[in-house]
Structure 1
Amino acid sequence: MTAPQEAQPPIVLSTTDVAQIERLLALPAVENLPAAILLADEIARATVLPPEQMPADVVTMNSTVVCLEMHSGKEHRLTLTYPGQADASAGKISLLTPMGSALLGLAVGQVIDWPGPTERRLRVQVTQIA
């Protein structure tokens, strides 16, 4: 689950990503998952632009992102993928994970809280689109 609505940073999505994500969210196996509901909320609050107008510093589908855990200083290099392409051992995270849905649409420099492996929330900053 991402941060409460009032604490969420603004996000920008491409029309291409929105169309593909909406098709994914309409699948019977996906449509009632908690992550699907969160993603629908993210799409609803996003600024949506044509691909040619997307800023280069925004996380889109298939972006490789470098992000920093603020409390530990640990860096992560992650690629945002669709569910069938996810491979945690290779740093490929699904859009349907809390981490994946939290990163989508963020720009370099933005900070988001997301659930960590324990109940503690992680504060993470996007530092680079690789």
Structure 2
Amino acid sequence: MLSSVQEMRTLTELDHTRISKLLPREQAGSAIAAVLDAADLVPAREVPADVVTMYSQVLLADLATGTQRKITLCYPRDAEPATGFVSVLSPVGASLLGLPVGALAGWTTPDGQQASGRVLDILFQPEASGDYTL
């Protein structure tokens, strides 16, 4: 199984603070909590353009099938998985947060299977576009 926190993660301080406030106490041992605990924090203006941040649009390749899909990492209130808006609190979302282009993400599907994908590209990152508060 690919761990969602094996790869070095870089998070903006703002993303870290906002996501931390979303977590109820019972999610203390969750995948997203582990990402938050282990991440390297940087000011939003200093995050590299090739790192997945909140509201980044990512091109992800499924390692099993080679299928590529666009995913926008969002907060739970904006999640619409059918249209590619994936919550950061979901297994897929937690696995992507803070990863650089080229990294592998791994997660457990709702039916208990292991899945993985490679971050092929970041099609949009708010910070790279000058939006440091999105």
Residues of 1 paired with 2:82 and 2:20: CA distance?
Answer: 27
Query: Counterpart in 1 of 2:96?
Result: 103
Pairing 1:79–2:72 present = yes
Greater than 6 Å deviation, 4+ residue runs:
none
1:19 aligned to 6, 17, 21, which one? 17
Query: Counterpart in 2 of 1:32?
Result: 26
Query: Counterpart in 2 of 1:69?
Result: 62
Residues of 2 paired with 1:13 and 1:87: CA distance?
Answer: 23
Structure 1 unpaired stretches of 5+: none
Q: Percent identity?
A: 33
Structure 2 unpaired stretches of 5+: 124-134
TM, length-normalised to structure 2: 0.83
TM, length-normalised to structure 1: 0.85
Q: Deviations over 1:88-118 (max 9, x none)?
A: 1211011111000000000100012212354
Residues of 2 paired with 1:16 and 1:83: CA distance?
Answer: 16
Q: How many residues were matched structurally?
A: 123
Residues of 2 paired with 1:84 and 1:10: CA distance?
Answer: 27
Q: RMSD in angstroms over aligned alpha carbons?
A: 2.0
